[in-house]
Amino acid sequence: MAASDVNALALDALDPQPVELLRLATAGSVDDGKSTLIGRLLYDSKQIFEDQLEHVVEVSRRRGDGHVNLALLTDGLRAEREQGITIDVAYRYFATPRRKFVLADCPGHVQYTRNMVTGCSTADVAVLLVDARNGVVEQSRRHAAIATLLAIPHLVVCVNKMDLVAYDEQRFAAITADFTAVARRLGARDLHFIPISALHGDNVVERSENTPWYEGPSLLELLETLPIARDRNLRELRFPVQWVIRPQDDAWHDYRGYAGQVASGVVRRGDEVVVLPAGIRTRVVAIDTADGEIDAAYPPLSVTVRLADDVDAARGDLIAHPDDQPQLARAFAATVCWMSEHPARERARYRLKHLARSTPARIDAIEHVLDVATLEHARGASELALNDIGRVRIRVAEPLPCDPYAANRATGAFILVDEQTGDTAAAGMIEQPLA
């Protein structure tokens, strides 16, 4: 039986209600029409308040756009409107009768790659735009590479501006073939293509009569039906301790609970567990929520776990099942997206944040930099500059309970912080624990 089938059966047993929340991130090159697509998606699905639409109509008129510019619904910053590009990650929330959505509108320009990494870090689906006239360009490969590195389970490629190529089926097929070749090389898991015109609404919410040769769903139909519940890892328990709750009052004098969000796996009352990195074994005696005790918890529930023994556990520790523990590592190989104006160099020191734990760290080696134009690994680099994506080896001061990012997005991710400025220097994904 496949792992996805195991997940589905486990979910059915735990939760008769289908998971309805889907997190998606959008990315596209400048002028690919990403903001227009999001505006069209919100407009055609009736997600815009009347006063919002009136404001956009008025601004469009004053700007002389000649049409209702739906991109203004998402380009909220003044600089974004002036430059016609998306700069910061903007989040939008909307819902249909079938599913709720959290949409991260990510900037597409190369100088804001770090913002895209931030917006995509928790996404279930990446919606990538390609201009039908330009085809797969360097930014398309960059976006595909980032989405794949971040292990986003589903990639949806919207070939936009089909109206400007007369809804040409052959043009769509050629772009699909080019992007598929790139995606296969990167190891993308689930790939979908949709021919759209965000400006006119073709195949965004409703299927278009202008593409009779396309038999697939519209973008919204696809987003409503992608099987994201099967993506959840219900096998290896990973419960990071966010907070130790000890009220120390007369009513709750002896209460001691460990609060956190289940990152993966299932924890049940009565389970034998191990607290890492100390390696202390104990047993779960209760699982508390705001609505009372429950018998089992699974991702992404936030709960408080009570243990049979007064173990010395603290914020940053991790609870797992003894027969399926993450590796305790003091060094690991990782892929990082560099986010700082100050380049990364070997022997440089940072503070590494992993789950709720923070520890001093050092870059031991820079192994290669990804050339997004060719997808080749350029070796011999002495530093990583802003927005570079590269493979490094990192050593930390304290052992971290971690997994490869490909196996677990929660315990395989980290950030590096510049201790002098407090700024985030890099987002990282562990490839392999080394020791």
H or E stretch including 353? strand 349-354
CA 197 from chain center: how many Å? 26
Question: What value does the mean pLDDT take over residues 288-312?
Answer: 92
Residue 76 has pLDDT above 60, yes or no: no
Max Cα–Cα distance, the chain, nearest Å:
75
Q: Phi, psi (5° rounding) for residue 192?
A: -135, 145
Instruction: Return the percentage of the chain with pLDDT > 90, whole number.
Output: 52
| CA–CA gap between residue 255 and residue 257 (Å, rounded) | 7
pLDDT of residue 345: 92
Residues 406 and 387: their CA atoms lie apart, in Å, by 21
Contact, 335 vs 391, CB < 8 A?
yes
- pLDDT category of residue 2 using cuts at 50, 70 and 90: very low
More confident residue, 194 or 86: 194
Asked if residue 48 has pLDDT above 90, the reply is: no
Query: Roughly how many angstroms between the first and final C-alpha of the chain, as a whole number?
Result: 33
Please state, rounded to an integer, the average pLDDT across all residues of the chain.
Answer: 86
Q: Please check the confidence at residue 324 and state whether its pLDDT lies above 80.
A: yes
How far is Cα 429 from Cα 409, in angstroms, rounded to an integer?
8
Is the pLDDT at 29 greater than 90, yes or no? no
Question: In this predicted structure, what is the pLDDT of residue 56?
Answer: 77
Q: Tell me which amino acid residue 350 is.
A: Y
Does position 101 have pLDDT exceeding 80, yes or no?
yes
Q: How far apart are CA 120 and CA 89, in angstroms?
A: 10
| Structure-token pair, residue 277 | 């990195």
Q: What is the dihedral angle through the alpha carbons of 119, 122, 127, 129, rounded to the nearest 10 degrees?
A: 30
User: Could you please report the per-residue DSSP string of 219-262?
Assistant: HHHHHHH--GGGGS--SS-BEE--EEE---SSTTTT--EEEEE-
In this prediction the pTM is 0.79
Q: Is 269 exposed, middle or buried (0-12, 13-18, 19+ CB in 10 A)?
A: middle
Residue 8 has pLDDT above 70, yes or no: no
